[in-house]
């Protein structure tokens, strides 16, 4: 007992508890919806939509990893699983012999197009539509504050 730790106050405790439970339950629910609606996991959807958003539905792998804040290893593993299911394909990179490119397959694109609106609805139903405009903005502010402290791409002073 050399340094008294600053425990959490009741209000802080409440916020912390809210954080824990919200993510636990919300993630679970969104994953459930996504799986039932489209047969995708959340990571699947993230990959598909990140690819779908870019030009020509393809992207350099490390670029994609950086954009998604995923480790290269994680992405590599996940792409392997998705490639096996025919959602994406790997291609060679002309300009860098080490590099590789992932592209949506037709099937991947179709799946994404079908999944997207349902997923948006799910996000609305379980999260966005529960909050009033002020809460939306407040949440964005809070999240960005936390992220800016942690993100490799922001100054963390």
Write out the residues near DNA by the rule CB under 7 A. 28, 32, 41-44, 60-63, 65, 70-81, 90, 93, 96-101
The listed partner (DNA, a second copy, none) that binds 96, CB under 5 to 8 Å by sort, is DNA
Question: Using the rule CB under 8 A, is 150 a contact of a second copy?
Answer: yes
Strand order in the sheet with 88-92: 58-60, 100-104, 88-92
Q: What is the DSSP letter of 135?
A: H
The listed partner (DNA, a second copy, none) that binds 52, CB under 5 to 8 Å by sort, is none
DSSP letter for each residue of 15-76? HHHHHHHHHHHHHHHHHHHHHHHHS--HHHHHHHHHHHHSGGGEEEHHHHHHHHT--HHHHH
Question: Using the rule CB under 8 A, is 120 a contact of a second copy?
Answer: yes
The listed partner (DNA, a second copy, none) that binds 60, CB under 5 to 8 Å by sort, is DNA
The two three-digit tokens of residue 54, written as one number: 């870019």
Map tokens 């299911």 to a residue: 85
Give whichever of 90 and 126 is closer to a second copy, judged by the CB atom.
Answer: 126
Specify which residues 104 forms β-bridges with: 88
**CB 48, min distance to DNA, A:** 12
The listed partner (DNA, a second copy, none) that binds 153, CB under 5 to 8 Å by sort, is none
**CB 96, min distance to DNA, A:** 5
């Amino acid at each position: 007992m050399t340094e008294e730790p600053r425990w959490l106050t009741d209000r802080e405790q409440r916020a912390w508890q809210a954080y824990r439970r919200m993510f636990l339950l919300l993630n679970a629910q969104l994953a459930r919806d996504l799986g039932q609606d489209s047969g995708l996991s959340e990571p699947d959807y993230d990959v598909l939509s990140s690819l779908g958003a870019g030009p020509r539905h393809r992207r350099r792998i490390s670029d994609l990893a950086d954009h998604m804040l995923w480790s290269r290893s994680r992405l590599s593993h996940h792409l392997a699983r998705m490639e096996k299911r025919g959602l994406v394909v790997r291609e060679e990179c002309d300009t860098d012999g080490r590099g590789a490119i992932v592209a949506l397959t037709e099937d991947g694109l179709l799946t994404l197009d079908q999944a997207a609106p349902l997923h948006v609805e799910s996000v609305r139903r379980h999260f966005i539509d529960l909050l009033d405009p002020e809460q939306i903005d407040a949440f964005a502010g809070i999240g960005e504050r936390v992220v800016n402290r942690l993100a490799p791409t922001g100054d963390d002073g």
